[in-house]
Structure 1
Amino acid sequence: MGAATERFFEALPARAPEVLRGLVSGTLQIDLDTGDGTDHWLVRMRPGAVEVSRNRGPADAIWYSSEDLFDRLVSGQAQGVSAVLRNESTFSGNVVLFLAFRRFFPDPPGTRDPREVARRQTGRLT
């Protein structure tokens, strides 16, 4: 497994208060195909908190991805929803958990918040 993926999962609990502000609650199992087997991550989400383990278990949703794709997701080089729509990864279960979890991924390099761009343009015009 890539070091970026390991760091990503280690950082989730600390990042949860800023990312999970809504009422999302449930367990997401993430299965990563390594080519030689499957690595499992169990992510229990609730408002403002995340617990991460390397177990399989009862889950409200399961997301299956290749290890390579997940490494690209955690580096901002790929987008989760796009990967599912292109059938590069699969998802089953409570889609709200997937949509909440994808907020942990970074934006692609060079992405700018359109609100910030508008603020800058407004500031230049005044």
Structure 2
Amino acid sequence: MTEATERFFESLPARAPAILCGLADGALQIDLSTGQQTEQWMVRMQPGTVRISRERGPADAIWSCDAALFDRLITGEAQGIAAVLRNESTFSGNVVLFLAFRRFFPNPPGTRDPREVARKAAGRPA
């Protein structure tokens, strides 16, 4: 596992209040594989909070992903939904948890909010 992955998971509790405002309530197990080795992360989400652990246990959803792909997700170079649709990763269980978790990933580099673009075009401050 990379240092970037460790830092990403460590940052989640501080970022949760701004990101988890909705219906996410449950445990998401994330399995990151490198060759024959798999590392688990348990992400327990509730509105406004998240708890991270490395334990295995009952989960409402399981997301399996290659560790290299996960590194691309945490840098915005790849998108979680696209990875699942292309069968580069697999998901089972409560899809709301996956949809909520993907909000922790950054936007692709160079992405701009279309509302900001429209405000600038209209001459209003962003």
- 1:115 paired residue number: 115
* Structure 2 CA distance for aligned equivalents of residues 55 and 117 of structure 1: 44
Displacement over 6 Å in runs of 4+ = none
Identity percentage of aligned residues: 73
Gaps of 5+ in 1: none
- Distance (Å, rounded) in 1 between the aligned partners of 2:2 and 2:69: 11
TM-score, length of structure 2 as denominator length? 0.96
One-letter amino acid of the counterpart of residue 59, structure 1: A
Asked whether the equivalents of residues 23 and 96 of structure 2 are also in contact (C-alpha less than 8 Å), the reply is no
| 2:31 counterpart SS class | strand
Inter-partner Cα distance in structure 1 for 2:26 and 2:8:
19
Give, as a single letter, the amino acid of the residue that structure 2 aligns with 1:30.
Answer: I
What is the rounded CA distance, in whole Å, between the counterparts of 1:113 and 1:120 in structure 2? 11
Superposition pairs for residues 31-110 of structure 1, below 5 Å? 31-110=31-110
Structure 1 residues 31-78: Cα deviation after superposition (integer angstroms, max 9, x where no partner): 000214100000000000000001111000000000000000001100
Cα RMSD after superposing both structures: 0.9
- Corresponding letter in the other structure for 1:22: G
For structure 2, which runs of at least 5 residues remain unmatched after alignment? none
CA distance in 2, matches of 1:23, 1:85: 23
Q: Report how many aligned residue pairs link the two structures.
A: 124
Residue 23 of structure 1 corresponds to 23
- Residue 3 of structure 1, CA deviation: 1.0
Cα distance in 2 for partners of 1:34, 1:51 equals 24
Distance 1:16 1:100 in 2: 10
